[in-house]
Structure 1
Amino acid sequence: MATKPIFITGIGTGVGKSLVSAIITEALQADYWKPIQAGLDDGTDATTVQQYISNSNTTVHQEAYQLKMPASPHIAAAAENIVLEINTIQKAMPVTNNLFLVMEGAGGLMVPINQHQFIADVIKALNVPVILVSRNYLGSINHSLLTAMVCKQYNLPVIGWVFNDHYLHYEQEIVNWSGFPYIGSIPFTEQPNRQFVQEQATKIKERLIELL
């Protein structure tokens, strides 16, 4: 049975992509892969996801690129005299026997990976469906709908929205305006841990599988 990849992207940086990636990985007992990691001082997102996972079926795979500077990937790569290439990412994509592979992007869709290409171009080249992560804050409607517009411009297949945190209850408006389905909403927690991830994974699993 062929592996079904899923790409997790967000409406910006710091919107909870790694937490949502862990929850989706746990829900599907999927493998996990972050193609580009920028910033190593505080650990990697792969390490964070690994710490949140309870099931024994998940394998966390090595990044295609590990960059030291916590900055936009094209800047972090330039600091190390590296040019990020989509074909390198394609070749590094893990081969797995798992039914699902959860892939986590860096920042949002229009984060540059080099002088000509963006995370959206990576998703397009990998030909994978997308889950969009939106965190509720003042201004997130605009950022969410701009993200939805980019998905449509790039003709990216979107599985749906996962909302993170609670500010105001306008998730359904974003769903309606974007035309992309609702997957679930993750409540705010001060200290995410395995138990929280497992609880949220159980909560969204049925809807997630329905949309897949």
Structure 2
Amino acid sequence: MNLELPQPRSAKGRATLKELLRAGDEILRRDGYAGARVSDISNAAGLSNGAFYRYFDDKRHLLLHVIHDFLRYSEEYVHVTFDPEHPMASVRESTERYMRFYAQHADMWRAVIEAGQNDPDVEALRNEVTDAWCARIARMLHRAQKAGLVRADLDCDVASFLLGGMMQFYAQHAFRPDSTLETDPGKVAGTATALWESGAFVTGR
């Protein structure tokens, strides 16, 4: 996977690179991974195709960077520090942030899912973020279990993927253009938190 960016020496070169990445983000959201073209990215950046190829090998080279940066940003955005004094509040806040982020970037999520179906490197990037997110959930559950807040018989590692996957699956379907599912972040987070509470926690707090 080629994720090495060129390092322009001049301020103009750095600005050009930044603009190409911004344009790539725009076109990926608009046209999807398969539909994105170098000419459209160049036009959106106000540059020639020649300028594009001075920085990137092809559209895939650029779009991998765009997807990588987006997924890392998504991971940071939904992170909430676990509060053992108010565990369900932590769960609800993280879940609500996830739904809010997905709502704001549903077009990009669709493009990433599409790309991952045909490009193993994109799927690997997505899996890395999913694994990191579920590992964070597992650490929270283990910590809560040691504090007596989570059922002693719960397999926290398995539960982390079941609970995390529940939100990914729901958001993916709720934000389809033809979906009639509830998309209000607060309402969805409330239902998800109730499932966490009844399925994993000893008592709600």
Is the TM-score greater than 0.5?
Answer: no
Provide the TM-score with structure 2 as the length reference: 0.29
TM-score (norm 1): 0.28
Q: Which has the higher contact order (CA 8 A, sep 6+)?
A: 1
